[in-house]
Amino acid sequence: MASETAPVRLVDYRVPDFLIDTVELDFHLDPKATQVKSRLAVRPNTEGVADLTLVGDELKLVSVTLDGKPLEAGAYNATSDSLVIRNVPSAPFTLEVEVEIDPSTNTKLMGLYRTGAAYCTQCEAEGFRRITYFLDRPDVLAVYTTRIEALKAEAPVLLANGNPQQSGDIPGTDRHFAIWHDPFPKPSYLFALVAGDLGVITDRFTTMSGRDVELRIYCEHGKEERCAYAMNALKRSMRWDETAFGREYDLDIFVIVAVSDFNMGAMENKGLNVFNDKYVLADPDTATDTDFANVEGVIAHEYFHNWTGNRITCRDWFQLCLKEGLTVFRDQEFSSDMRSRPVKRIADVRTLQARQFPEDAGPLAHPVRPEIYYEINNFYTATVYEKGAEIVRMLKTILGEDGFRKGMDLYFDRHDGQAVTIEDFLSAFHDATGVDLAQFHLWYSQSGTPEVVARGSYDPKQKTYSLSLKQNCPPTPGQTTKKPMHIPLRFGLVGPNGDDLSFSDATGARVEDNVIHLTEAEQTVVFSGVSSLPVPSLIRGFSAPVRLSVDLSPSDLLFLLRTDSDPFNRWQAAQTFAIRDLVARTGAKVRGEALDTNEPFIDALGEVAEADALEPAFRAQILQLPGEADIAREIGRNVDPDAIARARAELRISMAGRIGGRLAVLFDSLQSKTAFSTDAASAGRRALANAALDLMVANRDRAAIERVVARYRNADNMTDRLGALSIMAHAPLDERLPALADFEERYRNDPLVLDKWFALEASVPAPETLDRVRALMEHPAFSPSNPNRIRALIGSFASGNQTQFNRADGAGYDFLIDFLRDLDRRNPQTTARLLISFRSWRALETGRRNRAEAALKRLDAVGNLSTDARDIVARMLA
């Protein structure tokens, strides 16, 4: 790979030469010149190492003393990115280091930086080294005490990890201080400090053992009321972790701070979570139902890290999925318990298929536990998070509810206070249940999405049903051949009346509790005592993250859509049917042929949409056709985004023509006559109304357009208003223009809401959109240094607008590359994330492929790219 930095390899892991038991930090905050003093209790950890090497990043050393004595010039060597102390004592010693940093010029948003007028930190993965020289690696766990001193007027609020210990004025000055102490040993990536003039809401929580915990959420002044839902979600998360996993909160106080400049979603710093305000602030006027669900999910996710990540952390960054996959699984379970389990599962699988499957199929494919990296920031991926969560879910399927809980309990008991590995994690489950997980371990080391091919045959004389199963995992970068994996396939054999048929015996594979354990490359399972020909319903609940190919006829799929007892597979049947139709229709478009409308399929969708016995949120999912990117992924090569868009539009027009009238009746019946509520049932009705309306306007039906315009105008909540506006924008209808202008005017002083508008403007599938995006970069509310604004406008264009980003003339690619070249100088992390929009470039048809390649090569030729961007572009072109 063309990269100037040396790679880091899992096989090179060594225990640290030194450990640090306690860290005392003293911050003298100043926007341009912050003084940071650290006092470290250092202990040699291996024999015969004479030099202590601490890492830094853009640091300026002021002084260094060892056991109280200033070091002479020859006794150490300091550069901006390392501090080497020569010939340190072989017994424990105290090192004191003072550095100066400039938060105001820190545009990378890693380390200590400014957000608005406040100070805040982000240290995962390697930001702490931008605050002071340190053993900045997750297996060095220390007890931290943090003293912060600042101007009272500038920063009345002073926060750090742990419990508050002491605070007060500094006599004779206009400054004050606060001291925080965190008794739980933690790695440096979990350090946090926030200081500024902030608003707050407070609450209390009593833990299961009766401990009283103070809860605080800080935000910009004036936005306190918009934190109420987040506070409620926090209390529910704390209770849920006690009941579902027996995990209790451990400090006297839990603090969340919402900031507007943040590279990621949120950060689980011990006792002091820092959030992108997008995942805290929510009220019905400014947040959609999806926003509420996201706030709930992210609050829960970061809170759950207190045990899976903080109390038990990662030995090294290769183990990132140990905390992320497990914690995503935990937050998915929480949301399933709070809302509808099948609907949550469908939403999560949609995300997995939209974000992780393309990663696994392209040049950025990597194992859930990578074995090499150039830049760890680039491994906060869908594979580590989403596929990592799927692995934990499969583990639960394999071990069962009780076995899984036993394994988790043992993991918590055995490793509390430690930095551990995937092997430690799996050993806990093996030791608790006796189940051999050696083959299962391959899920962590083999990249790529396994493909499972299933073929069934029924013998009416013998009453046997044979299911032949084959698995294969395609080659991925660095991995040409793969071993068969342990794939748990939840299934049912659906009989003519829709009930699952029983069977007396199953041979050829281990079959238990409606799960087939596929462990070999090919296996044939023979079920005996099957009374009639079944339709197989496979991978129920998406029990494994694989691509399934099964020989179901169109009528089999419609049968499952109407009758399967597993709601997920009803949805899956509709998706499979739609995707087959859309792939065929796209091929017909490319060849200039026409394809008939599949009326039975459309009628079946109409029936499900009207089925009152099913929850509305589920029916809304059924009505949503696969997106253009889903179709492109399925086609896989020689992709023509324009043909896909035309095919999808054609199917939608047929649907509007055939069931538009029924959908209009449904839409009208869903209009709420009661006061707005954020509960899941009300949200489901709004989702179904939006899904119905979205299809109704596809054929430009006048009455449907009037409904969408009225829905926008009369909305009393953001879900209805934004839903109507996005229907107009995506269609696109001419009516969108006055509505978009109205939306801009209405929310011009609310940056988070205006992000929704930027995103919609950028996703209009029309040739003028690229120029519109360029013009909006000059909009007063747009800031080229705020990650939320960048993701809303530029990110939505690049990843959410298939036809315009992939313009045949390559202008979309050139635009993005020009923008990223500039952004890379300020914020390499956000640059690297946006570059991922190119991940499927090799699957495009020749013309676009050549233009995308040329654009990527143009970026590759830039001399001073960050390691973040260099790493992605090099892998993309490899």
Contacts of 419 (CB under 8 A, 6+ apart): 138, 139, 141, 187, 313, 314, 315
Q: Which two tokens stand for residue 624?
A: 């949503």
Closer to Zn ion at the Cβ: 273 or 471? 273
Kindly state the number of chain residues that form the binding site for Zn ion, as judged by CB under 5 A: 2
* Alpha-carbon span 380 to 366, nearest angstrom: 12
Closer to Zn ion at the Cβ: 323 or 339? 323
Phi/psi of residue 125, nearest 5 degrees: -90, -40
Closer to Zn ion at the Cβ: 326 or 764? 326
Closer to Zn ion at the Cβ: 315 or 685? 315
Q: How far is the CB of 236 from Zn ion (least distance, A)?
A: 18
Q: How far is the CB of 373 from Zn ion (least distance, A)?
A: 18
Q: Which of 784, 870, 349, 330 is nearest to 571 (CA)?
A: 349
Q: Could you give the angle at the alpha carbon of 20 between the alpha carbons of 18 and 23, nearest 5°?
A: 155
Q: Which two tokens stand for residue 564?
A: 């399967």
Closer to Zn ion at the Cβ: 114 or 369? 369
Q: How far is the CB of 602 from Zn ion (least distance, A)?
A: 41
* Alpha-carbon span 502 to 504, nearest angstrom: 7
Q: How far is the CB of 6 from Zn ion (least distance, A)?
A: 28
Q: Which of 601, 591, 602 is nearest to 646 (CA)?
A: 591
Q: How far apart are the two ends of the chain, measured CA to CA in Å?
A: 7
Q: Is 826 exposed, middle or buried (0-12, 13-18, 19+ CB in 10 A)?
A: middle
Q: How far is the CB of 300 from Zn ion (least distance, A)?
A: 11
Q: Is the peptide bond before 365 cis (omega within 30 degrees of 0)?
A: no
DSSP character at residue 260: S
| Pairing assessment for the beta strands 18-28 and 34-44 based on DSSP bridges | antiparallel
* Alpha-carbon span 407 to 83, nearest angstrom: 42
Q: How far is the CB of 327 from Zn ion (least distance, A)?
A: 5
Q: How far is the CB of 732 from Zn ion (least distance, A)?
A: 36
Closer to Zn ion at the Cβ: 182 or 324? 324
Q: Could you give the angle at the alpha carbon of 107 between the alpha carbons of 102 and 111, nearest 5°?
A: 60
Closer to Zn ion at the Cβ: 176 or 330? 330
Closer to Zn ion at the Cβ: 278 or 736? 278
Closer to Zn ion at the Cβ: 327 or 598? 327
- Position of tokens 């009746």? 665
Query: Is 466:457 a contact under the CB 8 Å cutoff?
Result: yes
* Alpha-carbon span 394 to 360, nearest angstrom: 18
Closer to Zn ion at the Cβ: 324 or 720? 324
Binding characters for Zn ion, 582-621, by CB under 5 A (x = yes): ----------------------------------------
Q: How far is the CB of 302 from Zn ion (least distance, A)?
A: 7
Site for Zn ion in 23-42 (CB under 5 A): none
DSSP-assigned beta bridge partners for residue 160:
193
Contacts of 764 (CB under 8 A, 6+ apart): 729, 730, 732, 736, 772, 801, 804
Binding characters for Zn ion, 300-339, by CB under 5 A (x = yes): ------------------------x--x------------
Q: How far is the CB of 298 from Zn ion (least distance, A)?
A: 9
User: Does residue 302 have an active-site annotation?
Assistant: yes
Q: Which of 80, 59, 62 is nearest to 70 (CA)?
A: 62
Q: How far is the CB of 401 from Zn ion (least distance, A)?
A: 24
Query: Is 453:469 a contact under the CB 8 Å cutoff?
Result: yes
Query: Is 369:318 a contact under the CB 8 Å cutoff?
Result: yes
Phi/psi of residue 843, nearest 5 degrees: -85, -5
| Catalytic position from the list 96, 220, 302, 761 | 302
Question: For residue 168, how many other CB atoms are within 10 A of its CB?
Answer: 9
Closer to Zn ion at the Cβ: 122 or 327? 327
Q: Is 113 exposed, middle or buried (0-12, 13-18, 19+ CB in 10 A)?
A: buried
User: 153: helix, coil or strand?
Assistant: coil
Q: How far is the CB of 231 from Zn ion (least distance, A)?
A: 20
How many angstroms separate the Cα of 219 from the Cα of each of 116, 271, 872?
11, 16, 34
Q: 3-state SS of 120-140?
A: EEECCCCCHHHCCCECCCCCC
Catalytic site positions: 302
List of residues contacting Zn ion (CB under 5 A):
324, 327
